Amino acid sequence: MIMAQQDDDIADESAASVDVDDVLDAVDEPSIPSPPPTTQPPPPSQDLPSTSQ
């Protein structure tokens, strides 16, 4: 029983270290940069005669 618990702990620790390595590998690997957010162009100005004059 006690040995089985220790084995589980060792397995958990190795799994945690693998997760950290995967994260570091993902950071080191070049990835396709996400495209910049598209900004909407300003609405075209309408040349309407001003009626306030």
pLDDT tens column, 1-46: 555 555 555 555 555 455 556 655 555 556 667 777 777 777 777 7
pLDDT score recorded for residue 40: 76
- Rounded Cα gap, residues 16 and 11, in angstroms: 9
Assess whether pLDDT exceeds 60 at residue 50.
Answer: yes
pLDDT score recorded for residue 41: 74
Structure tokens at 52: 């306030």
Structure tokens at 34: 């996400």
